[in-house]
Structure 1
Amino acid sequence: MKIILVCAGGLSSSLLVSKMKHEGLARNLTIDISAVGEPELLDHTEELDVVLIAPQIRYLEKKIKQALEPLGIKVAVIDGMAYGRLKGDVVLDQALALVE
Structure 2
Amino acid sequence: MAEKTIMLVCAAGMSTSLLVSKMQKAAEKEGVDTEIFATAASDATNKLEEKHPDILMLGPQVRYMESNFKSKLDIPVEVINMQDYGMMNGEKVLAEAFKTMGVK
Establish whether TM, by shorter chain, passes 0.5: yes
The CA distance in 2 between the partners of 1:66 and 1:9, in whole Å, is: 23
TM-score (norm 2): 0.88
The CA deviation at 1:67 is 1.9
TM-score (norm 1): 0.92
The CA deviation at 1:73 is 1.2
Percent identity of paired positions between Structure 1 and Structure 2: 35
Structure 2 residue runs without a partner (length 5+): none
Aligned position for 2:60: 55
The CA distance in 2 between the partners of 1:52 and 1:43, in whole Å, is: 15
Runs of 4 or more, structure 1, over 6 Å off, are: none
Aligned position for 2:98: 96
Alignment RMSD (CA, Å): 0.9
Matches within 5 A, 1:1-100: 1-45=4-48, 46-68=51-73, 72-100=74-102
Q: Which digits, 9 at most, give the CA deviation of each residue in 1:5-62, with x for residues without a partner?
A: 1001111100000000000011111100000011211112243100100001111111
Structure 1 residue runs without a partner (length 5+): none
